[in-house]
Structure 1
């Protein structure tokens, strides 16, 4: 499973999302977490159809998107989304 955080340096909610992803990483160490700064990697953000930050995309092992949300999730919300990728 891959959890992608599309963020930007000036985004306050991105800090909250980053913290939640850090908590999830400790609870689900087998998941891969990847942060993409949309200003640094505009091509990847456009390819993922990201229009706001933070955006979280959860993909299964095959790379298929199983969940997407804009905004900072709570830990229970993120863990439930990650459960869809299993």
Structure 2
């Protein structure tokens, strides 16, 4: 079953993983998560698979890599809130 998660709520989902974790294992663990972005949705596992790090020591590292892997347009207008911060 696919899980839908807003980008603003992805950190708790990443915290559920067991760290340290390899990029491929993190991608597999998140392959059933659709990440809701400002301009559509993407598969979280696919985005993680496209990151530059081979492994992650904690959820903060993974979240930072995730932010870097997403295009700026995916984040929306930084001056506007999506209303559920």
Q: Assess same fold via TM > 0.5.
A: no
| Higher normalized helix content (fraction of residues) | 2
Q: What TM-score do you get using the length of structure 1 for normalisation? A: 0.28
| Higher normalized strand content (fraction of residues) | 1
Name the structure, 1 or 2, with higher relative contact order (CA <8 Å, separation 6+).
1
Q: What TM-score do you get using the length of structure 2 for normalisation? A: 0.29
Structure whose alpha-carbon radius of gyration is higher = 2
